[in-house]
Amino acid sequence: MIDIGRDRPAFDCLMRLYPNAVSRSHWDPTIKRSLVVTYPSELQSDPSLPDWPDYGLLEDMRGPLFAALRAGRVVVLATLFRVEGGGPRPEGTQMVFSQPSDGPLEVHGFMSGGCVEADVARHALAVMATGVAMRLVYGPSSPWPDIRLLCGAEIEILLERITPGDVAAKGLEQAYLTRQSGVWVSDGTTRRFELGSHRHDCQWTSEPFSVARAYHPVPRLVVVGSDPTALAIASLGVTAGFQTWLNRPKGPVSAPPVSGLGYLRQEPEAALKEIGLDPWTYVAVASHDADTDHPALVAALRSSAAYVGLLGARRRLPDRLAALKAAGVSDEALDRLHAPIGIDLGGKAPWEVAISVLGEMIQNRRMPKTSKPV
């Protein structure tokens, strides 16, 4: 980042590299100095974003980040690290920008629901070209009155350039592949990745400036069942960003007609063992067959899975709980069981049930204190 009060030589160097550069003054309230955002004049025009913002449907930016770096492309990572006034997106929200040699700018993620994305993309191109990190402020104290968030909030975003071979990015990818938590710490120029849990999803300090963004394993969903409701739950899980498997014991050899869905045909105990249940895994038992449901529940409730739910009639629940207890499942484990599964929305159609199930899982993930087993 360029602070002309502190780093004038770097600014002068950039001006020599880009004599036709355009500057925009940016007052940073955290350091009470004027930052100059500098980018070549050929990058002034807004990048062409798609007419439909499907680039914002992906929440986890690690996939496109790793893919671009593996392809040898420079990446700009944008991190929303400060939100004041209840913005539409939480702190820690990210976007990824990369420029293929034979195509348009690739964009993933969103920051505000359409208010600032094009401007962030333009600045990302500047960071991509110069390698100089930027901090962008949008809202009441922003120097750009033509860009406002309709909600009235103020947000601040860090843009940093990441090149293939970056050590921190390699550490992040290794943690991603081995399902370990960690934290990305960056000041925009230097960065590191550290394994271990972090109390906050995103934290930042002003002196010295630094952003710490926590990463956790991708949430996984295992659905045990074979009927349209089980298929709807699994389909919605894929759409919602879960790594999802459907377990249909002795099911057909052909895979389910859902793109991105894993499929296992063995008995539930073997299937759950193969997948491996951890604190970021959610299990929905929805076969309607006690001989299938029971071993699946025993295995899931004895694991560290974040969520275990059972689809079925409430009147049958006492007998099912008794059978689980007789099988040695502890009272503490039984207290974790969500049964009947899902938030009560009053609907029984496959997609209605699927929405209620995914809703409860997301509630459990985002608001664990309010998500209680029945």
With bands split at pLDDT 50, 70 and 90, how would you rate the model's confidence at 373? low
Q: What is the pLDDT of residue 257?
A: 93
Quick count: other Cβ atoms within 10 Å of Cβ 60? 16
Among candidates 364, 360, 328, 323, which has minimal Cα distance to 341? 360
- What's the pLDDT score for residue 199? 76
pLDDT for 147 beyond 70: yes
88 falls in which pLDDT band (50, 70, 90)?
confident
Q: What is the pLDDT of residue 124?
A: 96
> Which CATH number is correct for 220-366, 3.40.50.720, 3.40.50.2300, 3.40.50.300, 3.30.360.10?
3.40.50.720
The single-letter DSSP state of residue 46 is: P
In this structure, the strands spanning 262-264 and 243-247 are parallel
What angle is formed at CA 278 by the lines to CA 234 and CA 297, rounded to 5 degrees? 60
Extents of the domains making up the chain = 8-164, 220-366
Averaged pLDDT of the chain: 87
Mean pLDDT within 80-92: 90
> CB neighbours (10 Å) of residue 116?
23
**pLDDT per residue over 96-141, tens digit each?**
999 998 888 999 999 887 778 999 999 999 999 999 999 999 988 7
Tokens of 30: 């955290």
Q: What single DSSP character describes residue 202?
A: E
User: Tens digit of pLDDT for each residue in 276-303?
Assistant: 999 999 999 999 899 999 999 999 999 9
Q: Using one digit for the tens of pLDDT, what is the confidence trace for 17-75?
A: 344 333 343 434 443 333 444 444 344 445 778 888 999 999 999 999 999 999 999 99
Q: CA–CA separation, 164 vs 220, rounded Å? A: 28
* pLDDT reading at 365 higher than 50: yes
